[in-house]
Chain A
């Protein structure tokens, strides 16, 4: 996956002018940027001209299965994912439908481009690793950035994230998700009470035993 990132970085840094195609360039080949808050497209239009049809071919499921069967490598799908995320609008669809990329690394890569894409990537990871606290933290934090209306659902469903820290962030001026922060505090206070009760019980039983 690191190789994949290196490949995309080297593609992005090629010294090809984006204006080299001139004004007569057809509209179909203009590089779409559906994410207004994201960084400018890292891949020049010249490369996009060649990559666009190939990448769109690779999105469809049979082609992906073929790639996986032939090469059998997470790295290859990772490269495709990184290129897609960098280049075109279908990347969200790709991230939703494809299971073969490294969600953690791709999520981190997408954070700089568009938080909603990293949200999709982390969501896949969450499906795979239900008990991973760091992934649950990442999922909730990216949901705060990209889809605040989904945060409450995740707070209800997930159990293994760092409640007090996440709640503090939720009620901060940056996010202003007060109901969600309150829900997190409520959830973890119940856990705390249960934990204290268990501790008291064990202490009591050990004293009786002695």
Chain B
């Protein structure tokens, strides 16, 4: 149900700020994961990395690495890669 609520914010209202607030309030891994994907779709790589770290979800590592490469945000990428290697 929480992921559905976040889905409305992300897909229908397209309000990522509210979605981030909601994820922070709920603090559930699937919610963070969905938010991360939405942020990645909207080219917000550094925020997406934080969301994936909260979700402990390395599934989208290819896209994350590509985006981080393009934006050259190595400092943010390192904790994500460490988490992904641990999984």
Contacts and interface: CB of A to CB of B under 8 A. Distances in A.
B81 interface: no
A181 B1 contact: no
B29 to A, nearest CB: 14
A188 B13 contact: no
Contacts of A164: 1, 4
Interface in B1-55: 1-2, 4-5, 8-9, 12-13, 26
A189 interface: yes
B4 A179 contact: no
A52 interface: no
A186 B13 CA distance: 15
A182 B8 contact: yes
A163 B2 CA distance: 13
A171 B8 contact: yes
A178 interface: yes
A179 B13 CA distance: 8
Interface of A: 163-164, 167, 171, 178-179, 181-182, 185-186, 188-189, 192
Interface of B: 1-2, 4-5, 8-9, 12-13, 26
